[in-house]
Amino acid sequence: MKTIKNLLFSCISMSVMLISCNQKTAEPNTLSDKEQAEGWVLLFDGKSLDRWHVYNQTENNPAWVIKDGAIYCDPNNQSNKGDLVSNESYQNYEFQFDWKLEKEGNSGIFINVQEKPGIDATWQSGPEYQLLEDSHADFAIPQKKAGCLYTFLPQQNFVNTKSKGEWNRSKIIQKDGKVTFMLNDKITAEMDFNSDKWKNMVQQSHFKDFPEFGKNTSGKIALQDWSRGVSFRNLKIKTR
C-alpha cells in the first residue's frame, strides 16, 4: 500500500511540475526553450520598443505605448501619428503575433515595407495582413475580413475573430516571395508575389499608382496606426 501511495504521490508531483513548466512557457512575450532552440527571436519583450520605430522617423511617437505588457496604439492621443516599423528587414521568415482590437476596430500588418523618404506611408509599398474586429462595418466585405490579403483576396477559410478583449493569434510565413497568412490556426490567404497573377491584380487595383507597391519580397514589418485602439503582444520571428 505504501508503495502505491508513493507512486501516486510521484505522479501527482510530476503533473504539478509539468503544469508549472507549461505555465512558465505560456507567459506572454517570452520564448520557450524549444523556440529558442528552433531559432525564434522576440521582437517585443513586453517592456520596450527597442526593435521598432515610427515609419520614416527617428523617434517613436507617443501614440504608441506599452500597456499591460502589450504594444498599444492609443486612439485618444492626438499627436502626429504613424505606423510602427521593425528596425530590421526580413525576407524568408515565419512571423507570429497576438492581437486584439477595440469595438469596431480596424488595423493591419504590412510586410515587405520599403522605408524611404520618397515613400510617404507603409501601405504604399507593403501588402497588408488585415486586422478587423467583427463588429466593424467592413466585415461584410469579403476582401476586408481579418486575415485577408487586404482588398485582394477573401478569406481562404472563414475565421471569426475572438470575442472582444480576447487575443487572436496570427502567423505570416514568407519563403521566396510565396506568402501564407494564418488566423487562429487556419490559413486565410496565400499568394506568390513573384507571379503574374499578383502583378495583374496590382495593376487592376488602386495600388497601381504606387510604383513600389507589392514589388518586393523582402522588407520591414509594420504595425498599422488606426483610429481605434489596437494591441499587440508575443511578436516573434524565425528567419529561414
- Both 142 and 118 in a single domain? yes
Q: Same structural domain for residues 18 and 53?
A: no
Q: Is the pLDDT of residue 239 over 70?
A: yes
Mean of pLDDT values over 149-175: 93
Worst-scoring range by mean pLDDT, 22-36, 124-138, 192-206?
Answer: 22-36
- pLDDT, position 80: 64
Say yes or no: 63 and 44 in one domain: yes
The whole-model pTM stands at 0.87
What does the pLDDT read at residue 227? 65
Range of the domain at 160: 31-239
Q: Are residues 99 and 164 in the same domain?
A: yes
Residues 108 and 78 in one domain: yes
pLDDT confidence band for 226 (50 / 70 / 90): confident
Portion of the chain with pLDDT greater than 90, in percent: 69
CATH code at 213? 2.60.120.560
pLDDT at residue number 133: 83
Asked if 86 and 200 sit in the same domain, the reply is yes
Provide the pLDDT confidence category of residue 188 given band limits of 50, 70 and 90. very high
Please give the Cα distance from 105 to 84 (Å, whole number): 17
Query: Do residue 35 and residue 24 come from a single domain?
Result: no
Residue 164's pLDDT band (boundaries 50, 70, 90)?
confident
pLDDT surpasses 80 at 216: yes
Q: Do 61 and 5 share a structural domain?
A: no
- Do 204 and 171 belong together in one domain? yes
Whether residues 53 and 2 fall in one domain: no
% of the chain surpassing 70 pLDDT: 88
Asked whether residue 36 falls in the same domain as residue 17, the answer is no
Among the ranges given (5-14, 18-27, 103-112, 175-184), the one the predictor scored with the smallest mean pLDDT: 5-14
Counted domains in the chain: 2
Residues 94 and 21 in one domain: no
Average pLDDT score over residue span 135-163 = 90
On average, the pLDDT of the chain sits at 88
Residue 77 pLDDT greater than 90, yes or no: no
- Higher-confidence position of 187 and 3: 187
